[in-house]
Structure 1
Amino acid sequence: MPEFRTNYYNPFFKSDHLTEKDKYIFADDTPEYRFTIIGAGMIGQEHIRVTMLEGRAVIHGIYDSNAGSMENTKEMFHREFPGRNLVLYETLDAACMDPEVDGFIICTPNYTHLEVVKEAVKSGKHIMLEKPMATTLEDALELKQTAEDYQAVFQIGLQYRYKAIYREAVHEVLERRSIGDVKTISIMEHRVPFLDKVDQWNKFSEYSGGTLVEKCCHYFDLMNLFAGSRPVQVYAVGDMDVNFRDFHYEGRDSDIIDDAFVTVKYENGMKAHFNLCMFAPMFYEEITLCGDQGRLKAYENEDFLPLERPSTHLEVLSGESGTARVGAPCYPSVIQESGHNGATYYEHKYFIDNINGDTQSTATAEEGFWSIVTGEAAERSIKTGEVIQIKEMLDGN
C-alpha cells in the first residue's frame, strides 16, 4: 500500500475505467476485521455505512429482535453494497458466538444494553456500545464494572467528542492551553424533536432514561472532559412544553422533557451550564469555554436555509495573552456527510486503532458512567426542584 493512501481515499475519485490488475492507488484493501451489528435500526445502518467507508473492517452480520428492522437493514445493505454477503442471525446467542466475527457494534434500545452486553462479553470479542451505556445508575455501574475486567476493547459510543468543532476545542483548550485555566463551560443544543423509533421507545423515560440521559449524555461527557473533574452538584429546571404533549402509544402518554437548563459544579471548582431546546427549527450546537487567559467559542449549525455560509465556526480570543484565531473546522466531505458530522467515522477509526494496539483516546465505560450520573442527577433535580448532591445520590443507590 502506498504510504500516502488513506482509508477514505477511494470515495473521492472514480476508478471504474480500470481493471483490477491496473489498480494500485485504488485497489481495495482486504478488511482486517469482521463486525456484527446488534440492533439494526437507523443508528445500526449508520454504523454499517461508516464501517464500510472506513475500510479496515467489514460488516459480517446483523441481529435484531424486530423482524421489520432486520428486513429493512438487509435490503439497505444489499442495495448499497451489492455482492457482499450478510449473515442474518436468528438469536442473540448465535450472533455473539459466531467464530467468524471479531467484534460487535451494539445499538439496541437503551434499556436493553445491559442484557445484550451480558451475552456479548461471553465471547471475549471487542465491543462498541452505543450511548447512553444504560438508563439507570445500577445498570451503568454494572456495565462499568464489567468493562474494568474485560480483556478486549470496550468502547462507549460518546462520539460527539470527535466532531470537528470539539476536536479543535480539545486541541486549543486542553493541549495548547490557548485560554489558560478553564473556569466556566457553556454548551447549547437547539434542535428538532426526537425522531421516530421502533415501538417509540424514545418517547418514554422508562425506556430511554429520560431526555437528559438519552440525548444529553453526549454533552455531559464533553463537560466532564473539559472540566477534568467529577461533578459534585447538579441543579436543573426543565419541562415538556411543546413536543409530544398529546402523544399516546399503546395506552401510554409520553413523559420526556423537551427543554432544560442544567448547572453543574465540579470537584475542582469549575462551573458548567447546559441549555437544551428540542422544538427549534434547526440543528445547532455551541460550546463556550472561558479561561483566565481567553475565551473559545465554537458552533455547528444546520438551519435548512438556502444560504451560502459555513456550517461550523470556531474562534479563540486571547486578548493580550496571545494570538486570536477564527476558522471553520471540518472534515473531508465524504467523512463529514457519513454520520454525525464525521464523528461516527472517527469513532470507528479509533475503535479499530485500539484493537490494533494503537491506543487512542476514546470514551471509556468509566467516562460513560459519569455522563449517566450527570444526566440522571439533572433528571432528578427537575422532578424534585432540589440541588442534587452527587455523593448522596450515589450512596443512595
Structure 2
Amino acid sequence: MSRKRKEINSNFFSGFLNVDYLSEEDKYIYKKEQHKYKFNVIGAGMIGHEHIKVTMLEGRATIHGIYDLDKKSIDNTKRMFSKNFPEHELVDYQTLADACHDPKVDGLIICTPNYTHLEIVREAVKSGKHILLEKPMATNLKDALEIKELADGYEGIFQIGLQYRYKAIYNESIHEAIERKSIGDIKTISIVEHRVPFLDKVNQWNKFSKYSGGTLVEKCCHYFDLLNLFAQSKPSFVYATGGSAVNFKDFEYKDQKSDIIDHANVNIVYENGVNTNFNLCMFSPMFYEEITICGDEGRLRAYENDDFLPVNRPNTHLEVLSGESKPTRISTPCYPSVIQSSGHNGGTYYEHKYFIDNIEGITTTTATVEEGFWSIVVGIAAEESIKTGKVVYINELLKSIYEEKETVSN
C-alpha cells in the first residue's frame, strides 16, 4: 500500500467525515487497515488513558490489555475503552508477568508511578518485547543506571517517553536551529514553564520526592532533554535555586508531608560552552511554555499557551529573527486539531507513531535510554543544588554513583 493511501486512510482523517452510508465493499480510501501490532499498557491511570487513545488513533496498533494494582483505575479504564472502542475487547491481566509475557502481544507501554519503573522493567526485559517506558525513567541515578544497563544490547525497541521534542513548537525549533542552522551556532538557550500545580494521582505519589524523584525530575526531565538536545553536548555543571512557596505547603497524605518544590531557576553550562537556563513556576493560572535560543546569526523564540481565556489568538507562536543576514520567519506551528488535542499538544501521538516506525526499522529521533538517562542526570543535579546551595559538577555526581555501584558489587 502506498504512503499516500496510508495517510488518506488514517483514523484521524476519516474521523472528520461521515462514511456510514458506504457499505464495507464500497470502502477503498476509507477502508480500515488491520492492526499490525498489539500492545499492553502497564499502568491504567491518566497517562495510561492517553497512551491507549493515541495508539488507537494512530491505527497501526491496538491495545490488547492492561495491568494495574489499583482496581478503581482498572474499572475506570475498562469503561473508557468500552465507550470509545466498543468493537475491541480489553484483557485485564492479574499479574505483571502475565501482562509482560503474553505471546499475543508485541509491545509494552509502561506508565506506572516513577518509583515502580525499575521493578517493572526488570520483568519486561525478560519478554524481549518492544518497550515504551514513560518519563522519567527512574527517580534516582542508581535505578536509572540499572535500567540503562538492562537496555544495553536489548534486541527489541527500548524507547523513553520524552515526547515534548515532538510538540509542534519544539519540532519546528529543532528544524530551524539544528537542521537549518537558521540562527548560526547556538550560544544560549532559555526555557520557561509556567503552569498550574501537580494534579491528583492515586496515593498522591507525585507530591513526594521519594516516589517521584522531585519536581525537577518528575516534570522537568522533558525540558532538560530539550536543553541537552539543543545544546548538542553533555552538561558540565548545574546551579539551581528554588523551593516551595505556594503549593502543598500544608499537604499531608497518610502521615507524610509533601516535600516537593513549586518553583526553580536552573542554570546549566555544557561542555561545549553553551549556557542555558530553565525557569519553572507551578502556581500560575495557565499552561505556558517558551523557548528562546540565541545564536551568532540570530534569535529563535517559540511559545505554547493555554490561559483558559475567551480571547481569539493563536495558542502557538514561532519567530526566527535573523537581522540583515537571512529572511525572518514568523509562524504558528500546529498539527491537525484531533492530533493537537490527543495529548501533550500532539507530542504523544508522534511518540507512538515513531515507536511503531522504530519497530518497522524506520530511523526516527525518539528519545533513547541514553538520552533519558541524561535528562535524569540534570534533574537530579538541580535538585541536589537546591538542597545544598552549591554548584553540582556532573562528573563528580556520576563518579559517586559509579563508585557506590562498584562497592555494592564487591
Q: Which of 352, 366, 369 is the matching residue for 2:373?
A: 369
Query: Which residue does the alignment assign to 1:31?
Result: 35
- Name the CA distance, whole Å, in 1 between partners of 2:367 and 2:137: 11
5 Å matches for 1:124-203? 124-203=128-207
5 Å matches for 1:56-71? 56-71=60-75
Q: Which of 330, 336, 340 is the matching residue for 1:336?
A: 340
5 Å matches for 1:268-279? 268-279=272-283
Q: Which runs of 5+ in 1 are unaligned?
A: none
- Secondary structure in structure 1 of the residue aligned to 2:395: helix
Query: Which residue does the alignment assign to 2:357?
Result: 353
Identity of aligned residues (%): 68
Query: Which residue does the alignment assign to 2:407?
Result: none
Between the two proteins, the alignment pairs up a number of residues equal to 397
- Name the CA distance, whole Å, in 2 between partners of 1:177 and 1:242: 40
- Name the CA distance, whole Å, in 2 between partners of 1:133 and 1:181: 31
Q: Which amino acid aligns with 2:211?
A: Y
Q: Which amino acid aligns with 1:182?
A: I
What is the Cα deviation at residue 219 of structure 1?
0.1
- Name the CA distance, whole Å, in 2 between partners of 1:71 and 1:166: 36
- Name the CA distance, whole Å, in 1 between partners of 2:342 and 2:170: 17
Instruction: State TM-score, norm by structure 1.
Output: 0.99
Instruction: State TM-score, norm by structure 2.
Output: 0.96
Q: Which amino acid aligns with 2:373?
A: F
Q: How well do the aligned residues superpose, as a CA RMSD in angstroms? A: 0.8
Query: Which residue does the alignment assign to 2:4?
Result: 4
- Name the CA distance, whole Å, in 1 between partners of 2:2 and 2:104: 29
CA contact (8 A) 1:106 1:130 kept: yes
Query: Which residue does the alignment assign to 1:17?
Result: 21
Q: Which amino acid aligns with 1:341?
A: N
Query: Which residue does the alignment assign to 1:119?
Result: 123
What is the Cα deviation at residue 264 of structure 1?
0.2
What is the Cα deviation at residue 2 of structure 1?
5.7
- Name the CA distance, whole Å, in 2 between partners of 1:11 and 1:298: 30
Are residue 289 (structure 1) and residue 293 (structure 2) matched?
yes
5 Å matches for 1:82-93? 82-93=86-97
Query: Which residue does the alignment assign to 2:313?
Result: 309
Encode CA deviations 1:59-84: one digit per residue, 9 max, x unaligned: 00000011111111011100111121
- Secondary structure in structure 1 of the residue aligned to 2:4: coil
Query: Which residue does the alignment assign to 1:390?
Result: 394
Q: Which amino acid aligns with 1:303?
A: D
- Name the CA distance, whole Å, in 2 between partners of 1:131 and 1:390: 21
Poorly superposed stretches of 4+, deviation over 3 Å: none
- Secondary structure in structure 2 of the residue aligned to 1:319: coil
Q: Which amino acid aligns with 1:175?
A: E
- Name the CA distance, whole Å, in 2 between partners of 1:266 and 1:14: 53
- Secondary structure in structure 2 of the residue aligned to 1:275: strand
Encode CA deviations 1:6-33: one digit per residue, 9 max, x unaligned: 1232222121111111111111110110
Query: Which residue does the alignment assign to 2:215?
Result: 211
What is the Cα deviation at residue 396 of structure 1?
1.2
